[in-house]
Amino acid sequence: MARSNMATTEQATAPRGAGTERIPFLDLITPHRQLEPELTAAFRRAVRAGAFIGGGEVEAFEAEFAAFCGTPHCVGVSSGTDALRLALHALDLRPGDEVITVPNTFIATTEAISQAGGTVRFVDVDEATLTMNPQALGAAISPRVVGILPVHLYGQPADMDPILEVARQHGLWVLEDACQAHGARYRDRSVGGIGTMGAFSFYPGKNLGALGDAGAVTAREAGHAARVRRLREHGQARKYYHDEEGYTARLDAIQAAFLRVKLRHLDDWTERRRRVARWYDAALADIPEVHRPTKVSYAKHVYHLYVVRVPNRDGLRRHLEKAQIGVGLHYPLPLHLQQAYAQHGYRAGAFPVTERSANMGLSLPMFPELTEAQVARVADAIRAFYR
């Protein structure tokens, strides 16, 4: 009560703009303004080439992104969701097949499984990393399980070696959901190049974002890549000869041209995100209520999101919004408790680590252009709330 009165008084008396400039959760304006000359040149090149679906820009981007991920094959598609769905088809998912994944992810992960004809089987995540808990896999294995779909959530790679070991023992494939983790590394490998296949999203807010919807599939085997290439274009390898039914799920040439420009900046942006994370880590270290993202020795985290876990999360969220600081929830309701999955009959308590993280997680502003002073202001606002 006193706190909210104080905030109101402050807002009424503080001179406009003095130290109260809004810190956005994400800034999509600044980087694009900086890149405008490069982006417009790429746009002009694509327009003049007159190839709008497929063609040289798409092929060049695929080669460049495959090299970036250290994978032999990359196929550009229309979104991250389509990347997951086409990869699952290419892995020959059949009705009744079960795929193991986690309930603390964006719904695209499980939509892709269901829409490719499979059945979702959840396992809980690890308390420290919030990625798939490999210890939980044993109990979820059944004769119907054909594959494992770990999610490199927030930019933190899942613990892949034990996951790959379980997959090897049971003859399963592994599809990595790398939609939030472009350039993240697990030991000496880049995500998307560790499992059988990988799926990336280039939704504008992702670490590598198009100027619209786009995605990519990575693959180790030429056969899987060829199948995705065919599926993205109505099941045809040769025009009007359809080996199977497919989709309209191609990457636009203009988006590929934009992505080629932005890919050249990705390592720099990633290093800046990691620097922002180090500023947060230091600035929040003296606030005992704040549980910071875990750093693990095997991984290079690329901080798509910087998510803290805190008591009275909703109170802090309102406090930060009032202080002109943009925050987000990723995600407020775990997938197993969503209305869309009510038919599975899961109850609260089924996946306690995921549920705790949904209740306590708060995503702080995170983007490469964030300054140390802005990070300090966020930390000060959090400190003031818990005092």
Q: Which is nearer to ligand PLP, 130 or 141 (CB)?
A: 130
Site size for ligand PLP, by CB under 6 A? 15
What is the DSSP annotation of 183-238?
Answer: T-EETTEETTSSSSEEEEE--TTSSS--SS--EEEEESSHHHHHHHHHHTBTTEEE
Name which of 180 and 363 has its Cβ closer to ligand PLP: 180
> CA–CA separation, 375 vs 364, rounded Å?
9
**Sole binder of ligand PLP in the list 62, 71, 74, 80 (CB under 6 A):** 80
Q: What's the rounded Cα separation, in Å, for the pair 205 and 40? A: 20
CB 73 within 8 A of CB 222: yes
HSE-CB of 86 using CA atoms within 13 angstroms: 37
Tell me the two tokens of residue 51. 């190839």
Least distance in Å: CB of 112 to ligand PLP?
8
Q: Which is nearer to ligand PLP, 70 or 212 (CB)?
A: 212
CB of 333 to ligand PLP, least distance (A): 15
Q: How many CB atoms lie within 10 A of CB 332?
A: 11
125 within 8 A of 104, measured Cβ to Cβ: yes
Q: Is 154 exposed, middle or buried (0-12, 13-18, 19+ CB in 10 A)?
A: buried
Nearer to ligand PLP, 64 or 111 (CB): 111
The C-alpha atoms of residue 179 and residue 109 are separated, in whole angstroms, by 10
For the record, the structure tokens of 350 come out as 């089924």
Among 75, 91, 93, 108, binds ligand PLP (CB under 6 A): 108
Position 79 contacts ligand PLP (CB under 6 A): yes
Q: Is residue 122 at the binding interface for ligand PLP, with CB under 6 A as the rule?
A: no
Residue 201 binds ligand PLP, judged by CB under 6 A: yes
Task: Rank residues 173 and 385 by Cβ distance to ligand PLP and give the closer one.
Answer: 173
Spatial CB neighbours of 246, under 8 Å, sequence gap ≥ 6: 230, 231, 232, 233, 234, 235, 236
Binding string, 137-166, against ligand PLP, x = CB under 6 A? Answer: --------------x---------------
Tell me the torsion sign for CA atoms 342, 344, 345, 348: negative
Residue 177 binds to ligand PLP (criterion: CB under 6 A): yes
CB of 213 to ligand PLP, least distance (A): 6
Shortest approach of ligand PLP to residue 379 CB, angstroms? 26
Binder among 66, 90, 179, 263 for ligand PLP (CB under 6 A): 179
Q: Does 215 bind ligand PLP (CB under 6 A)?
A: yes
Between 79 and 129, name the residue whose CB sits nearer to ligand PLP. 79
Q: Does residue number 354 form part of the binding site for ligand PLP (CB under 6 A)?
A: no
Find out whether 131 and 150 touch, Cβ atoms under 8 Å: yes
Distance between CA atoms of 52 and 46, rounded to whole angstroms? 7
> Which residue's CB is nearer to ligand PLP, number 330 or number 377?
330
Out of 101, 109, 110, 354, which residue is the one contacting ligand PLP (CB under 6 A)?
Answer: 109
Q: Which helix (H) or strand (E) holds 314?
A: helix 313-322
Strands 185-186 and 299-300: antiparallel
Report if residue 81 touches ligand PLP, rule: CB under 6 A.
Answer: yes
* CA 73 to chain CA centroid, nearest Å: 20
Of the two residues 86 and 379, which places its CB atom closer to ligand PLP in the complex?
86
- Of the pair 141, 335, the CB lying nearest ligand PLP is at 335
Q: Which residue is nearest to ligand PLP (CB)?
A: 80
Rule CB under 6 A: say whether 251 interacts with ligand PLP: no
Region from 104-112, 185-193, 218-226, 263-271 binding ligand PLP, contact rule CB under 6 A: 104-112
* Contacts to ligand PLP by CB under 6 A: 79-81, 105-106, 108-109, 151, 177, 179-180, 201, 203, 213, 215
